[in-house]
Chains A and B, each alone.
Chain A
Amino acid sequence: MIDLKNVVKIHQTGDEELIALKNISLHINEGEFTAIMGPSGSGKSTMMNILGLLDRFDEGDYILNGKNVTHLTSNESAHVRNKNLGFVFQSFNLMPRMTLLENVALPMVYAGVPAKERKERALEALTQVGLENRIKHRPNAISGGQKQRVAIARAIVNKPAVLMADEPTGNLDSKTTLEIMSIFQRLNREGTTVVMVTHEPDVAKYTKRIVSFKDGEIQDDQIIEKQKII
């Protein structure tokens, strides 16, 4: 599914060069549920951005779904993100003036899905995260946990192969964190590959694999024997 080969990423700030990723190779299979961990500044977000085709890298190759996506144009990347990748952000990033239904339907607008089908599928996705009764609300009328559920609905509405989340529970309390993790687990059971960054070992134990970063390198990569199910 995901295959990073010897990826090097250098951040350039003025004259200073910072090697954020040093020769990273990572293979993630279909159906995996992976947590990326590591101290602040270790390169987790940098790698997620590369996996999400939001950023380019300086050396190496990236094979996604059997296709080399190292040298895509920005248009091609946009299409791949739209069709194959789903994003969940730490700060939700919902459109404040749109209803929840419209927010969830947004990726389908860029996919060219007709309006009627958009509505149906957005409602279906909101049902999956238990918010089918709030579709006409605006984001400012719901709680943080609910916002993240809307964001998840938006991320899965185009039925992506991989769901990517950079610290999705960073802004949430422990109870809502559990709710979100349970939704991730269910989606993963239903076949979606999930990759998420987290700082909290308590959260990581709900995944199936933990990849630990340190100073731009993978320090540790372990399969969790007994995934904690919610």
Chain B
Amino acid sequence: MNITESFKMAVDSILANKMRSFLTMLGIIIGIAAVIAILAVGNGATSQITGTFNDLGASTISVSTSDDATDSQKITSQDMTSLKNSSDKIERISPDTMTRGTASAGNNEKTAIMLGGTTDMQYTSQTMDSAVTYGRYFNTTEYSEGSSVAVISADAARSLFNGRENVVGEKVNLKTSNGQVSVKLIGVTKSTLEKMVGSFNEEETPGYIAMPLTTLETLVPNATKITSLTVQVASKDDIQSVSNQIVNTLATRHDSVGEDVYTATNYLQALDQVDSVLGLFINFIAAVAAIALLVGGIGVMNIMLVSVTERTREIGTRKALGATNSNILFQFLMESVILCLIGGLIGLTLGISLALVVASSLGIQASFNISSVILVLLFSSIIGIFFGVYPARKAAKLDPIEALRYE
């Protein structure tokens, strides 16, 4: 007996009980569909997130000092100069010092986040767009002299100047619990939020005002004792080595080697975190799918046992006609494998459709690969064999006379 014959027999017998076969496959269908959908959406999400990291922050390193760092361990502007000079892989460097306060012009007042940095902050800032709509950013002279100049976010400008955006040359009064300063606005730029979202409720969100770190010192005591930095590297391939180098340089300059004062994180670590969260999620769903497949497999075994009992007489007849035990074993094994394979294929189709629907509703691109299709086929067959062996062996071992006499 060859494979074509047993294949035909198996298909015939599955088709003879269409509804029952379908119900039996349900567990397999659900399990496989879940696996396929989760993998496609999960992979899609991962590559989406990876892509976003690459776009936004792939070349960015965040450096910070620990909470218990002493004043002498905090980062100085000399540290920044030294870091920048120590490596041509570092492109930009700026502190991320910020404080909350109010900005006022005439009778208008608005909550504002005041940011202090170097001239590089135009590019390192995560909150303000690097493209200036009006005017310009502050220059190195203004930075080193601590000039009272600032760049304002467009939404804050509109709030303070009655809807006007081009406010270059205007004066704004900035106030915090520590003091106040009047700055001349030299540039206007969109906030990242406005750039991404477009219009939003401007009254409730604070505006952004960026100025030289030295200027910010009027509003924040010890602003020049920096606790957090943003560094940009020229090539993201160097990001890990530069991160390590920054930590080493800072620790050496502050006599703090081995004290864990400085940490430098980059997108690789963040990606790791995303990966591990996604991985956890995928594992959870995979466990659910595994249970569905287990239940499905048991269903297949159950129905195959019923089938063996129903066809006892047929088995006896086949044996009388010359079927060997292995012929019978193979026939029933084939049947359970095909049952699982059909279930797997339906599950595959369902899983792909499901992934497409879910992905499009999440706004991501589902990613499929041929290896998961092959895996599904392989896995379905394995389930078919695993749960089919017992019923098939039972059929094969039937005593021909008992089987022939079975009513």
Chain A interfacial positions (CB closer than 8 Å to B)? 49, 52, 54-55, 74-75, 78-79, 81-83, 87, 89, 93, 95, 97-98, 106-107, 109-112, 115, 154, 158
Q: Which single member of A74, A87, A97 contacts B321 (CB below 8 Å)? A: A87
Query: Of B2, B5, B314, which is within 8 A of A95 by CB?
Result: B314
> Which one, A49, A83, A97, A115, contacts B322 given CB within 8 A?
A83
Q: Are A110 and B313 in contact, with the CB atoms below 8 A?
A: no
Q: For the complex, count residues of B whose C-beta is within 8 A of A.
A: 24
Q: Which chain A residue lies CB-closest to B2?
A: A112
Q: B309 interface residue, CB < 8 Å from A?
A: no
CB distance from A48 to the nearest CB of B (A): 10
Q: Which residues of B contact A54 (CB under 8 A)?
A: 319-320, 400-401, 404
Chain A residues whose C-beta falls within 8 Å of the C-beta of B319 in the assembled complex: 54, 78, 81
The residue that B1 contacts in the complex, of A55, A79, A97, A110, with Cβ under 8 A, is A110
| A107 with B1: CB separation less than 8 A | no
| A74 near B324: Cβ-Cβ < 8 Å | yes
* CB neighbors of A among B361-404 (8 A): 400-401, 404
Render B304-337 as a binary contact track against A, CB cut-off 8 A, 1 for contact: 0000000001101111111111110000000000
How far, in angstroms, from A115 to B2 measured CA to CA in the complex? 10
Give the dominant DSSP class at B's interface: helix
Q: What are the nearest 5 A-B pairs in CB distance?
A: A82-B322, A110-B322, A93-B317, A78-B324, A107-B321
CB of B82 closer than 8 Å to a CB of A:
no
Does B16 reach chain A (CB closer than 8 Å)? yes
| Complex interface: chain A residues within 8 A of B4 (CB) | 115
Which residue of chain A lies nearest to B13 when distances are taken between CB atoms in the complex?
A97
Q: Does B12 contact A (CB under 8 A)?
A: yes
| Contact pick for A78, options B12, B16, B317, B322, CB 8 Å | B322
Contacts A93-B320, A112-B2 aside, 5 further interface pairs with beta carbons under 8 A come to A54-B400, A78-B324, A79-B324, A82-B322, A110-B322
Q: Are B324 and A75 within 8 A (Cβ)? A: yes
What residues on B are CB-neighbors of A52 within 8 Å?
Answer: 320
Asked if A106 contacts B321 (CB within 8 A), the reply is yes
List B4-39 residues whose CB lies under 8 Å from chain A: 4-5, 12-13, 16
Chain B residue at minimum C-beta to C-beta distance from A54: B400
Query: How far is it, in angstroms, between the C-alpha of A49 and the C-alpha of B403 when the chains are bound?
Result: 12
Query: Is the pair B325, A107 in contact by a Cβ cutoff of 8 Å?
Result: no
Contact yes or no, A55 B401, CB < 8 A: yes
**Residue contact B1 to A82, C-beta cutoff 8 Å:** no
CB contacts (< 8 Å) of B318 on chain A: these are: 106, 110
Q: In the complex, which residues of chain B have a beta carbon less than 8 angstroms from the beta carbon of A110?
A: 1, 318, 321-324, 327
CB distance from A83 to the nearest CB of B (A): 7
**Contact status A87-B320, CB under 8 Å:** yes
Name B397's closest neighbour in chain A (CB-CB).
Answer: A74
State in angstroms the CA–CA spacing of A106 and B321 once bound together: 8
Residue of B nearest to A166 (CB): B404
The distance in angstroms between the C-alpha atoms of A203 and B12, with both chains bound, is 39
Q: Considering the chains assembled together, what is the distance between the CA atoms of A72 and B314 in angstroms?
A: 23
Kindly list chain A residues whose C-beta atoms are within 8 Å of the C-beta of B326. Answer: 75
Contact among B16, B317, B325, B400 for A75, CB-based, below 8 A: B325
How far is it, in angstroms, between the C-alpha of A93 and the C-alpha of B404 when the chains are bound?
A: 9
Q: Give the chain B neighbours of A82 by CB distance below 8 A.
A: 321-322
Q: Are B324 and A49 in contact (CB under 8 A)?
A: no
Contact B314 A81 (CB under 8 A): no
B82 to chain A, nearest CB (A): 85
Residue of A nearest to B325 (CB): A74
Do B12 and A81 have beta carbons less than 8 Å apart? no
CB under 8 Å from chain A, chain B span 154-195 = none
Bound together, the chains give a CA A74 to CA B321 distance in angstroms of 13
How far apart are the CA atoms of A202 and B355 in the complex, in Å? Answer: 74
Q: Which residues of B contact A111 (CB under 8 A)?
A: 322
Interface flags for B76-102 (1: CB within 8 Å of A; 0: not) read: 000000000000000000000000000
Separation of A97 and B327 alpha carbons in the complex (Å) = 19
* A161→B314 CA distance, assembly (Å): 24
Chain B's closest residue to A112 (CB) is B1
Asked if residues A81 and B320 are in contact (CB atoms below 8 Å), the reply is: yes
**Complex Cα gap A154–B324 (Å):** 18
B323 touches A97 (CB 8 A): no
From the candidates B2, B16, B321, B327, name the one contacting A81 in the complex (CB within 8 A): B321
Q: Which residue of B lies closest to A78 (CB)?
A: B324
Find the B residue at minimum CB distance from A82. B322
Indicate the member of B314, B316, B321, B326 with the most A CB atoms within 10 Å: B321
Q: Map CB proximity to A onto B110-132 as digits: 1 under 8 Å, 0 otherwise.
A: 00000000000000000000000
Q: What is the chain A residue whose CB lies nearest that of B4? A: A115
Which residues of chain B have C-beta atoms less than 8 A from A49's C-beta?
401
